[in-house]
Amino acid sequence: MRRGRLGGKLFRHPASAMWKVVGQDAAVTMLARCLAEDRISHAYLFVGPAQVGKATTARHFAQALNCQGDEPPCGECRACRLIAEGKHPDVELMGIGGVCEEPDHRDHRTDGSRDIRICQVRRMERVLSRTPYEGRCRVIIVDPADALTTEAANAFLKTLEEPPPNVVLILVAQREEMLPPTVRSRCRRVPFRAAPVAAVARALEERWSVPPERAELLARLSRGRLGWALATLADEQLLAARQAAVDEAQRLADAGYAERLAVAGEMGGRWLRDREGVLHTLEAWQEWWRDVLLVSVGRPEQVTHVDQLDRLRRQAAKCEVGVALRALEAVARAAGELEENASPVLALEVLMLELPAPEVAASVRSR
């Protein structure tokens, strides 16, 4: 057991904290060591794919920083319980659509906001200027930090350059390149990666009592994202929507250009009101074509859709490896262009034209 000091108060941290995060051993080890050796940075940047445990780890780190137990984060003391419930007065989440204190502003949760605004950062600065009310330190979790507007990020930079005492800032981001280099350089970077599929399956079985076969399927479909697997476990409609997207990917592979362009128009028109839905559809298409490619090169044991091998084999028989690879690249390129604010209809129409045409597949088979 080691002793650390924060804000002049002595507290104890074990060499290995009691974290409950699946498949992120490197990140947890780094943070636990910071706690044990009293090397707490004023700002951290948790970066990695969506739903792999970044936000969960941020919450556990906030608990560990304020824990009143002997083995932080104990999960049982008053501080840990309040943080888990989102009610601790010194731990706050700043996210998209949060409240601000500008007299002429409404609660941005009600106005369709898609960004973290400068007025929210100004409110955060006022909060941080106060000493901790109950905990050892104030913790602000900014999630998703890559949603900070340019003005908000520049305002946030002042806090990063001159942080108040007894404050820890945790920025959670999927696309760190969206943050200014000046912001990134003032944070300690903590990388997160997709967890091993076996670790996700084991956690689903042991912690959530999921039957082994279903746990294996959800773990494969999640591709190492425990958060996705748990969300799908709680809402069967998510799995149904994913299957519908996969069915559409297979249908479009055999569809003519008129039908494809009609789908592009529908998805492009939906982009502004359902951005996440369109991206999730493209993600499902990417994984479908990745599986087709794996079957094409003789690696069926690595596919994500283990329950659809027969369909994958039929699709792989229609096109050679290069055709499947180009389809995978085209879907990934379209998703990237949409996230970079390209014309949604145009980006999706180009994708439809780049998918393998039925006549191309037929000519491949006849060689």
CA gap 273, 278 in Å, rounded: 10
pLDDT at residue 147, rounded to an integer: 93
Q: In CATH, what is the architecture of 2-191?
A: 3-Layer(aba) Sandwich (3.40)
Q: Where are the domains of the chain?
A: 2-191, 235-366
Per-residue pLDDT of the chain (367 residues; tens, 9 = 90+): 333 445 444 344 443 346 888 999 999 999 999 998 889 999 999 999 999 999 999 999 999 999 998 888 999 999 999 999 999 999 999 999 777 777 766 666 666 678 899 999 999 999 998 889 898 899 999 999 999 999 999 999 989 998 888 999 999 999 999 999 999 999 999 999 999 999 999 999 999 999 999 999 999 999 899 999 999 999 989 889 999 999 999 999 989 999 999 999 999 999 988 998 999 999 999 999 999 999 999 999 999 998 899 999 999 998 889 999 999 999 999 999 998 888 999 999 999 999 987 654 444 444 4
Query: What is the full DSSP assignment across 207-222?
Result: HH---HHHHHHHHHHH
Residue 104 is classified by DSSP as T
Is domain 235-366 classified as CATH 1.10.3470?
no
272's tokens: 């502004």
- Return the closest-CA partner of residue 56 out of 223, 220, 236, 225: 225
| Dist CA 334 CA 260 (whole Å) | 14
Q: What is the pLDDT of residue 16?
A: 37
Residue 200: per-residue pLDDT: 95
Cβ within 8 Å of residue 209, ≥6 positions away? none
What are the start-end ranges of the H helices in the chain? 25-36, 54-66, 78-84, 118-128, 150-161, 181-184, 197-208, 212-222, 226-234, 236-253, 257-270, 275-296, 309-318, 321-339, 344-354, 358-366
pLDDT of residue 113: 74
Both tokens assigned to 136: 């050892």
